[in-house]
């Protein structure tokens, strides 16, 4: 523990009111259920439909769904438990695990969204070479880079935090171990650590954000000359992706790319990108995508036939 005397942290959670806690419990439980069921359904649909699985866009979408389940599971199960028992502590080691898993999965998701933007750029702006550029080997290589980038980010953030010493107090006004508040409890000098945090966050967020902006500006310019069915389909697909990007980047930029921290507001932003956004993503992609809805219909029919055959 690097000289720290604090062995656990107290998390104040989302609300001190009993009635408000019940409402929050229901909302978090609903979001987490949708997160698990919706994203698992997308993964199974893509993996069981050969046409979708061979398409790079849906290949990356299935991986995005896996990340949404993982990201949503970083804090939601413990948050639900804490709401039930109306109190929460987390060990020092458990806190470090939360920091690593959050920054790991969030980092991979940031890279995945940029990769999906690049995929749409190639598909719309260079359609004749799309299958050649985005072949299976290229997709797996890009996916490996995404996971490697997220792993590096998670390890770096955790290593910097592990160097801080905590002597007390040990109370965090949040529902999980958030670096933006945790560093303020350190009894050691955090000046260098803050520089490293900003460097790491900037290194992962800004280049990926620039990739997204360049990709979609180019795509929109290209689609401006297409008013047919192909252009409308491209706009619909890109619109869904941009909604997901906004839902993730908006709260993340608000919390991690500003100099000061307002715990109450940051807490609301945190619950959004850790609980709400993973639940909204499958709804956005499934409700706005005809191919996905068609594949889900086929999967539903297959399940019905299988159940009927089992009963006979």
212: its two tokens: 């997204």
Give the sheet arrangement for strand 8-11, strand by strand.
89-91, 8-11, 171-172
* pLDDT value, residue 271: 85
Q: Domain with 243 in it: what CATH number?
A: 1.20.1070.10
Number of domains in the chain: 1
* pLDDT value, residue 232: 61
pTM (2 d.p.):
0.88
* pLDDT value, residue 270: 84
The pLDDT tens digits for 131-184 are: 899 999 999 999 999 999 999 999 999 999 999 999 878 888 888 898 888 888
1 found inside a domain: no
Coil/strand/helix, residue 46: helix
pLDDT more than 70, % of the chain? 88
Q: Do the beta carbons of residue 155 and residue 97 sit within 8 Å? A: no
Distance CA 38, CA 170 (A): 37
Find the helix or strand (DSSP H, E) in which 144 lies.
Answer: helix 136-162
228 found inside a domain: yes
Statement: residue 32 has pLDDT above 60: yes
Residue 234 domain boundaries: 8-311
21: its two tokens: 């806690």
130 found inside a domain: yes
115 found inside a domain: yes
* pLDDT value, residue 168: 76
Coil/strand/helix, residue 81: helix
* pLDDT value, residue 308: 67
186 found inside a domain: yes
2 found inside a domain: no
């Amino acid at each position: 523990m690097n000289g720290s005397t604090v062995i656990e942290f107290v998390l104040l959670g989302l609300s001190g009111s009993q009635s408000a806690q019940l409402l929050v419990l229901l909302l978090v439980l609903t979001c987490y259920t949708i997160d698990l069921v919706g994203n698992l359904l997308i993964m199974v649909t893509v993996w069981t439909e050969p046409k979708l699985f061979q398409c790079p866009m849906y290949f990356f979408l299935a991986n995005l769904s896996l990340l949404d389940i993982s990201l949503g599971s970083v804090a939601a199960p413990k948050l639900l438990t804490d709401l039930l028992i109306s109190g929460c502590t987390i060990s020092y080691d458990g806190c470090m695990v939360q920091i690593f898993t959050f920054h790991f999965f969030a980092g991979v998701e940031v890279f995945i969204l940029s990769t999906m933007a690049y995929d749409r750029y190639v598909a719309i702006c260079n359609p004749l070479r799309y299958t050649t550029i985005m072949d299976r080997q290229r997709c797996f290589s890009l996916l490996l880079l995404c996971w490697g980038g997220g792993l590096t980010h998670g390890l770096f953030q955790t290593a910097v935090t592990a160097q801080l010493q905590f002597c007390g107090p040990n109370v965090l006004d949040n529902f999980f171990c958030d670096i933006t508040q945790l560093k303020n409890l350190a009894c050691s000098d955090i000046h260098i650590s803050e520089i490293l945090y900003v460097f790491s966050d900037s290194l992962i967020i800004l280049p990926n954000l620039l990739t997204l902006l360049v990709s979609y500006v180019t795509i929109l310019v290209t689609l401006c000359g297409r008013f047919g069915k192909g252009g409308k389909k491209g706009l619909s697909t890109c619109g869904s992706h941009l909604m997901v990007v906004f839902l993730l980047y908006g709260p993340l930029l608000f919390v991690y790319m500003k100099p000061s921290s307002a715990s109450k507001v940051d807490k609301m932003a945190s619950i959004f990108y850790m609980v709400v956004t993973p639940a909204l993503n499958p709804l956005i992609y499934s409700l706005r995508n005809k191919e996905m809805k068609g594949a889900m219909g086929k999967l539903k029919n297959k399940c019905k036939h299988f159940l009927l055959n089992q009963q006979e």
